[in-house]
Amino acid sequence: DARVTQTPRDKVTEMGQEVTMRCQPILGHNTVFWYRQTMMQGLELLAYFRNRAPLDDSGMPKDRFSAEMPDATLATLKIQPSEPRDSAVYFCASGLIPGPGNTIYFGEGSWLTVV
Amino acid sequence: QKEVEQNSGPLSVPEGAIASLNCTYSDRGSQSFFWYRQYSGKSPELIMFIYSNGDKEDGRFTAQLNKASQYVSLLIRDSQPSDSATYLCAGNTGFQKLVFGTGTRLLVSP
C-alpha cells in the first residue's frame, strides 16, 4: 500500500528551537509538495520540488524556513528558530506530474506546537 | 484575491439530500481541478479531478467545470452523515502546482 510517510507525527517544542520534519514520498513520484494548514489560512503551499529540484519556495518565510530534497526518497522542512506562530499542521504530498490527472497524495501530517 | 475561493460554510443538508459545493478560481491558466475531502484531524484525501468542461460522475459524486465562468462545483447525491467533512477545492496552475481553497465544511444531519 503506497503512501507518503511523514515524521514526526506530533512535535511540541519551545520557541527558538530547531524543528526538522521529514517526508518519504511515494516511490516513483517525481514531485513533492510541502503545505502548512491552519484554521485561519487553510492549506498554504510552502515549497515544492520536481525531480529533487526546488521549483518554488515563494510561500515560505525565507529567514527561518528551509526545504531540501537530499535524495529521491527524502524531503525535509526545517524551521530555525521556531516561533509560536509556526504552530500548524505541516503536510507533505507527492505526485507523478505530469501524470494521470496530475494528482497528488498527502501524508498524515506533522502536528507542530511551538510554546 | 485568493487564487481559489470557497465559501467556508458550514453547509447543512439533511441525510439523503443533494449537497452542492462551489469553488471559483482566478488563474485562467489553471488546467485541472481537484476535490479533496478532509475529516477533522486527518489529511486530505482525493475524491476526484476534472479537466474538461462539463460534468464528470463517480458514484454519488459529480464534479462540474465551467472554464468560461472559472467555476468548479461538486455535487454529492444521497448525502450521508459520513460525508460530513471539509471539502477542499484545488486548481493546478500553469506551473503545475496545486493551490487550495480554504475549504467548505459540510454537515449532513441524520
Confidence check: pLDDT of B94 > 80 = no
pLDDT tens per residue across span B54-67: 999 999 999 999 99
Nearest Cβ partner for A42 among B32, B98, B101 = B101
Share of chain B above pLDDT 90, in %: 80
Q: Dihedrals φ, ψ of B93, to 5°?
A: -75, 175
Identify the top-confidence range among A3-7, A60-64, B24-28: A3-7
Confidence check: pLDDT of B105 > 70 = yes
pLDDT, average across residues A48-69: 92
pLDDT tens per residue across span B32-58: 899 999 999 999 999 999 988 999 999
Give me the residues of B, 27-56, that contact A with CB < 8 A: 31-32, 34, 42-46, 49, 51
Minimum CA–CA partner of B49 in chain A: A101
- Are the C-beta atoms of residues A37 and A110 closer than 8 Å to each other? no
| Size of chain B in residues | 110
CA distance, residue A14 to nearest chain B CA (Å):
23
Instruction: Report CB contact under 8 Å: B97, A108.
Output: no
Min mean pLDDT across A22-36, A87-101, B18-32, B88-102 is at: B88-102
- Are the C-beta atoms of residues A25 and A2 closer than 8 Å to each other? no
| Size of chain A in residues | 115
Nearest Cβ partner for B96 among A41, A42, A97 = A97
Question: Chain B contact for A108, CB < 8 A?
Answer: yes
* Torsion A51-A90-A4-B101 (CA) sign: negative
Give me the residues of A, 33-92, that contact B with CB < 8 A: 33, 35, 41-43, 45, 48, 55-56, 91
CA distance, residue B43 to nearest chain A CA (Å):
5
Average pLDDT, chain B: 93
Instruction: Report CB contact under 8 Å: A91, B88.
Output: no
The number of beta carbons lying within 10 Å of the beta carbon of residue B18 is 12
DSSP B28-58: TT--EEEEEEE-TTS--EEEEEE-SSEEEEE
Nearest Cβ partner for A106 among B32, B43, B92 = B43
> What pLDDT shows up at residue A39?
87
Please name the residues in contact with A95: beta carbons below 8 A apart, sequence gap of 6 or more: A29, A30, A31, A33, A102, A103, A104, A105
> What pLDDT shows up at residue A113?
97
